[in-house]
Amino acid sequence: MSRVGHLSNLGMSDYLIEDLDSSTSNLVLGHLSEQNNHPAIVRMIATQALEQRGLTTRLAIAEQRRPTEVFQY
């Protein structure tokens, strides 16, 4: 984690591979840096990490200027 509160893409990927509860059904990634990241990059890295674990977790990326999908549980 940097001094400005953002977790790196590598740090996020490591967490998903090593620590994410395998029963997680929905995962929303947010607080992306507008200057230093892009939703497509985050989605690709997260998808690869989830696939490496064999998880079918539903992935959503919360963008800064667009609402996320509605989640119903």
CB 49: neighbour CB atoms within 10 A? Answer: 21
Asked whether residue 71 carries a pLDDT value surpassing 90, the answer given is: no
- Quickly state the pLDDT bin for 60 (edges 50, 70, 90): very high
Taking the C-alpha atoms of residue 28 and residue 62, their distance in angstroms, rounded to an integer, is: 7
By the 8 A CB rule, do 40 and 9 touch?
A: no
By the 8 A CB rule, do 20 and 55 touch?
A: yes
**Residue partners of 14: CB distance under 8 A and separation at least 6:** none
Tens digit of each residue's pLDDT (9 = 90 or more) over 6-47: 788 999 999 999 999 999 999 999 888 878 888 899 999 999
pLDDT at position 55 = 97
Asked whether residue 3 carries a pLDDT value surpassing 70, the answer given is: no
